[in-house]
Chains A and B, each alone.
Chain A
Amino acid sequence: MLLIKKIFLSLIIFVASLEYVWYQNITIPTSPMLTTSEKVVQTKKVVTTPAVFTMAPTKHTTVTAPRKRGRYKNGTYTGIAADAYYGNVQVKVKVRGGKLTSVIFLQQSGNDSTSRYINGIAMPQLKQEAIQIQSAKVSGVSGASYTSAAFRKSLANALKQANNI
């Protein structure tokens, strides 16, 4: 029951933040360019190399300054940690020249090395690692894309901070 409540609440927040985002005339970036990942140290917890997105203003840029409220203020902004029921999602954004130039995906848990083994009662011992960007020429690509309500919520919050109202 509690779980369904949480999901329902998350959905409401998601819809609300979506409306907020639409009002701002922001599109969530769909094709950012990735640079090398950087380590983000967060108070006491050690965080693994998070996924880093850098969006260069290209022909396909999907981040536009909101028409009604003006450009973003330069700086670095950390969005609220949004609840995604399995845990939190938090993003940190950088604004340069009034435009969003990077979104850093902060990882909250204590995964502090590139690989570790997990013990589980039901789960067999399986190796884990933080994902790493690869550059190679390949014959094809297999995959999914992901935008979660919590990701959007944290991103919208960070962008709100960056907006000079």
Chain B
Amino acid sequence: MQIVRDDIMGMPITIDIPAGTKEAVGEVLDYFVAIDNRFSTYKNESEISKINRNEISEDEYSNDMKKIFMLAKQTTKETNGYFSIIKSDNTIDPSGLVKGWAIHKAAKLVESFGYKDYFIDIAGDIQSKGVDTEGKEWTIGIRNPFDTTTMVKVLAPHGKGVATSGTSVRGQHIYNPHKYGSILDDVVSLTVIGPNIYEADRFATAAFAMGKSGVAFIEKTEGLEGYQIDPKGIATMTSRFEQFVI
């Protein structure tokens, strides 16, 4: 069954498990609620908010929090510092990592129930596998950054994770951690296809902060393909991106 919600994590969530029971879908939703309660910087009582107020000491961190911090450190290293969960005001905001990671874990949860076909989408970060109710492979459109009611590409990711970084719909900017205060404006949208949504998401976030060179970074990184759109509507793609285009 398919369920669409926009009251969890402050983002639209779609879960489609063609053979799934209401209970199975419900468990995935519960998981996302728990993630939000722990990692949302918008929730005063979340673990991350408490950490940012220095109300919890490091040895009191939950296992998931420790895991996220470890993954963040690793990602910072792998992206030469272009990915960072530490903001310019020295607070920690792991949302650039948590979303992809949570979807990835939710996908594993769904597989543990025995389902081979599913589609999990949180605000355009998507992990899909198998086929839909009509027996067709899941397809994903890349939103036109200049007109959000249309698409500029149609992809069949064949089970890979798809994430797009860009100026958010709410107008937030992604900053270059190497140059706090600089607003990025030479890339408007970068879509990354990775082995799973966790990989796609963290690298999409990091590569977007690299500006024009982001797509080159994706090209050089094993297992990733990308489609980068500049403010003039010119797209640059990695060399094996087109295998996913339909």
A residues in contact (CB < 8 Å) with B = 3-4, 7, 30-34, 48, 50-51, 53, 84-87, 89, 105, 107-109, 111, 118, 120, 122-151
**If the complex has contacts A87-B232, A126-B236, A128-B234, are A34 and B147 also in contact, measured as CB distance less than 8 A?**
yes
Bound CA–CA A84/B232 (angstroms):
11
User: Per a CB cutoff under 8 Å, which of B138, B162, B233, B238 touches A130?
Assistant: B233
Which residue in chain B gives the minimum CB-CB distance to A139?
B138
**If the complex has contacts A133-B150, A139-B16, are A51 and B144 also in contact, measured as CB distance less than 8 A?**
yes
CB-CB under 8 A from A147, the residues of chain B are 167, 171
- Number of contacting residues on B, CB 8 A? 61
Closest CB of chain B to A129's CB: distance in Å? 5
Contacts beyond the supplied A131-B153, A140-B124: 6 A-B pairs with Cβ under 8 Å:
A30-B148, A32-B149, A85-B185, A86-B231, A136-B141, A147-B167
Chain B, 151-168, contact with A by CB distance < 8 Å: what is the 0/1 string?
111100000001111111
B residues in contact (CB < 8 Å) with A = 14, 16, 119, 121, 124-126, 128, 132, 138-154, 162-169, 171, 181-183, 185-186, 188-189, 191, 212-213, 215-216, 219-220, 229-239, 246
**If the complex has contacts A86-B231, A89-B231, A111-B234, are A51 and B146 also in contact, measured as CB distance less than 8 A?**
yes
Q: Are A146 and B139 in contact (CB under 8 A)?
A: no
Bound CA–CA A142/B183 (angstroms):
22
Which residue in chain A gives the minimum CB-CB distance to B241?
A127
Q: Are B216 and A129 in contact (CB under 8 A)?
A: no
CB-CB under 8 A from B124, the residues of chain A are 140-144
Q: Are B144 and A143 in contact (CB under 8 A)?
A: yes
Interface of A is mostly: loop
Q: Are A150 and B139 in contact (CB under 8 A)?
A: no
Q: Are A143 and B239 in contact (CB under 8 A)?
A: no
Q: List 22 A-B contacts (CB under 8 A).
A: A4-B182, A7-B183, A30-B148, A31-B147, A33-B149, A33-B150, A34-B150, A50-B233, A51-B233, A53-B146, A84-B231, A89-B232, A105-B232, A126-B236, A134-B150, A136-B151, A138-B141, A140-B128, A140-B140, A142-B126, A146-B188, A150-B185
CB-CB under 8 A from A135, the residues of chain B are 151
Q: Are A7 and B189 in contact (CB under 8 A)?
A: no
